Structure 1
Amino acid sequence: MAYDNNKPFEEKRNFEERRNTESLFSKRIKAGKRRTYFFDVRETRGSDYFITITESKKRFNDDGYDRHKMFIYKEDFNKFLAALTETIDFVKTDLMPDFDFDAFNHDDQDEFQPREFAEVENGNAVVAEAAAETLSTATSETVSFDVAADDTDVDAWKI
């Protein structure tokens, strides 16, 4: 049986507290201004692992959040991944073949780096570094580069 009823009560309680608060792995995806997705790996009582996918949406009318959670267990990983991949491929190739999905791959950049301000002039982008108030020896620098006619190289500037 997956549950071990012979464990002392304190050990069971500690596992329950840890299981509800700890993730062994976590990945956050910001999706627009109001939505965030969380992918977490958690442990079961039987020392198995499962994935939770949580969508968190900020409510318009108050300061709260709506959360929706899915649990994906190890026996369903391959089926889930295959169905998700097939569904995304269908949208990308059959429904929206001309849409540039790669143009949206830069969402994590602002979370880890100071914001840079850009303006486009005559096909060239001029990028100025963010204010150097927090850096004691920083110097302001302007970098120019040609903007590609298409957006195929969007990921080239991502770190």
Structure 2
Amino acid sequence: MDEREREKIYSKRVRAGKRTYFFDVKSTRANDYYITITESRRLPQGEGFTYEKQKLFLYKEDFHKFIEALQETVDHVKTELLPDVDFSQFVRPERDEQTDFASELKWE
């Protein structure tokens, strides 16, 4: 089995127009786990396309802090900066491909 395939445990894809986000759980050689968050943007190039990728590595000791900070930041934008925006208009019906961060980011 390919080393890259061995280390990927779980993957969730979120399509967002010309961008796609990948949330991947991967394993280390020591059987520890971490998450990579990749933004892939499709850009026109000549008569075709090219893809630009940005990747973030998130380690288990930072999961809680990351989710907490992201939720606080989203809440700030929604309540303080854009209180009159109805964010439900951005929810797409394709639930198998789309992640509703507002409901999944609440840390239990």
> Structure 1 length normalisation: TM-score?
0.54
Query: Cα offset for 1:59?
Result: 1.1
Q: Is 1:74 the equivalent of 2:44?
A: no
Larger radius of gyration: 1
Query: Cα offset for 1:61?
Result: 2.3
Shift of the 27–110 alpha-carbon distance from structure 1 to 2, 3 Å rule, reads closer
What is the match of residue 39 of structure 1? 23
Q: Is 1:105 the equivalent of 2:91?
A: yes
d(CA) in 1 for partners of 2:53, 2:5 = 16
Q: How many residues align?
A: 94
Residues 82-126 of structure 1: per-residue CA shift (max 9 Å, x gap): 111111111011001111111121152697xxxxxxxxxxxxxxx
Tell me, what secondary structure is at the counterpart of 2:25? strand
Gaps of 5+ in 2: 98-108
Q: Is 1:57 the equivalent of 2:34?
A: no
What is the match of residue 30 of structure 1? 15
Please provide the CA RMSD for this pair: 1.9
Identify the match of residue 91 of structure 1 among 74, 77, 84: 77
Aligned sequence identity (%): 51
Residues 42 and 52 in structure 1, CA contact (< 8 A), matched pair in contact too = yes
Which residue identity lines up with residue 40 of structure 2 in the other structure? S
d(CA) in 2 for partners of 1:65, 1:76 = 29
Higher relative contact order (CA 8 A, sep 6+): 2
Gaps of 5+ in 1: 1-13, 112-159
d(CA) in 1 for partners of 2:81, 2:67 = 20
Which residue identity lines up with residue 64 of structure 1 in the other structure? T
Which residue identity lines up with residue 60 of structure 2 in the other structure? K
Which residue identity lines up with residue 70 of structure 1 in the other structure? L
Shift of the 87–110 alpha-carbon distance from structure 1 to 2, 3 Å rule, reads closer
> Structure 2 length normalisation: TM-score?
0.78
What is the match of residue 48 of structure 1? 32
d(CA) in 2 for partners of 1:28, 1:45 = 25
What is the match of residue 141 of structure 1? none
Residues 30 and 107 in structure 1, CA contact (< 8 A), matched pair in contact too = no
d(CA) in 2 for partners of 1:73, 1:103 = 33
Which is strand-richer, 1 or 2? 2
